[in-house]
A and B are shown apart, each in its own frame.
Chain A
Amino acid sequence: MNKLTLIVLLLFGLGITSNSKKVIARQGQVSFFSYTSVENIKAENNQVLSIIDLEEGTIAVDMLMNAFVFEKALMREHFNESYIETDIYPKATFNGRIEGFDAQQQGTQVKIIKGAFTMRGVTKDIEIKTKIENNNGGYMLSGTFETFVKDYNINIPPLLAGNIAKSIEVNFKFEYQPYEN
């Protein structure tokens, strides 16, 4: 009987954790770079959403692909219309978990985030080394990773193959604030 009470209590406890504390970033920055000898392409999105469940250590990111702005104005139109086809695939999302995340630890910690990244309907498992800074509950995540254009079935005309790098460098920076339901 004692064991049963214990289990009930455990279940109860789990119920509490599901309403756990979350932090959200509404103006996250994601930028990407493509370096080739022919042309450098740079784009930035300052409206990326991200949320972290501090107790679970889970993280989600949601970005609208048409919010990317480019150094060369016409590239935004090409990016949306010809490459990402944002009418059909408006978003890119990431769902993952921060491995060994300690929400209480102050200062800087470097962790691996493992999860699934979805873009143009293609989902890839990725691991990203991320710097996490915690200043009294104000969390900031930043990092860099590389991703391959060919993984996402992006149609690049052979004439332009030299203008777009095979591997794209992605930088991100999110500043979180407490999230209230």
Chain B
Amino acid sequence: MKIKTILVGCLLVLGSIQIATAQDDLQDILDREQNKTSDYVSPAFKMTRVAFGHSTEVRNQGVLELFTATRFWNFPGDRSESFVADKVTTRIALEYGITDRLSFGVGGTTFDGLFDGYLKYNLVSQNKGEKNNPFNITLFQGASYNSSSIPNPLVADDFSDRLGYTTQLLVSRRFSPKFSFQVAPTFVHKSLGLSNADNNNFFALGFGARYKLGPHLELVSEYYRTLNPIDSFNTYDPFAIGVNWEVGDILIQLMLTNTRNMVEDTFITQTRNNFNFKDPNLHFGFNATYVFHLSNKLKKK
């Protein structure tokens, strides 16, 4: 009788263990199966710009972005009669995803009278798993037309003289869920210099980084090093530090920077203030993007 009770007890214990392991087994089998599937890695940067310069991120097909960027700064001096800020410049642009990898944009800036356009092509997206790509690689080609009046009669200013071109190879990697880094070798051809003595071709190296502060907020910083700056004026390397904030279809970037120009060829070669907190060197920057989805399909990417 006693033996029977013990054995029944043993049976019950064994039975329950087996049921428990059966549950775990199912999950283990699925864990093994799961390793064969998805390789999606979230983009290194959430927005198409790090701060003032482009990031590797491109928009999907049918996504239209209305992009507005403003920079505010003050003149030096004790007294100022201006409302909010002494000077303001605005760039308004439309940017559209032609395919999931190719996007283009056109825009105009008030302060320097630059009209610009670009094409951006995402060559490689970061992936893990079978197609293991450690980097995002995006090609950028931009062109700009300078419409501002040029008082110096010695400077040739035909249509072709007013054009500027920027070619960039943007390479980024999402190192961890919080941290991404970008390197951007850049070539700029600027037909119109600040004086005739200046060279027209420039090489620069851009660096950008992102650190995620919270689910919707990230800290960003960007810097471009111009390797052969112009001689006729003192120019400085553009730098920015700021936060990017995302609320659904509205993307907002706030930054402190030393560049007031917003088109690549100009801010890389002709930033004439260094980064410090004195007027007129400190610029407060505000970029707001509104996203329209023009084709609402479930995407199989």
| B88 → A minimal CB distance (Å) | 26
Residue B133, interface by CB 8 Å: no
Please, how many angstroms separate the alpha-carbon atoms of A111 and B285 in the complex? 59
Across chains A and B, the number of contacting residue pairs, with CB separation under 8 Å, is 133
How many positions in chain B have a CB within 8 Å of any CB in the partner chain? 51
Residue B160, interface by CB 8 Å: no
Choose one: B14, B33, B214, B298; the contact of A44 (CB below 8 Å).
B298
Contact status of A74 and B291, CB under 8 A, knowing A14-B14, A59-B26: yes
Residue numbers in B under 8 Å from A26 (CB-CB): 33
Determine if A78 and B246 form an interchain contact, defined as CB atoms under 8 angstroms apart. Answer: yes
Determine if A78 and B248 form an interchain contact, defined as CB atoms under 8 angstroms apart. Answer: yes
| A67 → B minimal CB distance (Å) | 5
Residue numbers in B under 8 Å from A82 (CB-CB): 215-216, 246
Q: Return the CB mask of A141-181 against B: 1 if under 8 Å, else 0.
A: 00000000000000101011001000000000000000100
For A84, the closest partner residue in chain B by CB is: B215
Q: Is the interface of A mostly helix, strand, loop or mixed?
A: mixed
Choose one: B25, B40, B63, B215; the contact of A66 (CB below 8 Å).
B40
Please, how many angstroms separate the alpha-carbon atoms of A91 and B216 in the complex? 21
Choose one: A18, A22, A44, A69; the contact of B301 (CB below 8 Å).
A69
Determine if B301 and A85 form an interchain contact, defined as CB atoms under 8 angstroms apart. Answer: no
How many positions in chain A have a CB within 8 Å of any CB in the partner chain? 54
For B249, the closest partner residue in chain A by CB is: A74
Residue A133, interface by CB 8 Å: no
Residue A134, interface by CB 8 Å: no
Contact status of A64 and B301, CB under 8 A, knowing A24-B29, A51-B29, A77-B46: no
Contact status of A67 and B37, CB under 8 A, knowing A74-B59, A86-B42: yes
A67-B40, A85-B215 known, 6 other contacts, Cβ within 8 Å:
A69-B299, A70-B299, A71-B297, A74-B60, A82-B215, A95-B23
14 A–B contacts from the bound complex (CB under 8 Å): A7-B7, A7-B11, A44-B298, A62-B31, A66-B38, A73-B60, A74-B293, A77-B46, A81-B42, A81-B46, A93-B27, A155-B215, A157-B247, A159-B248
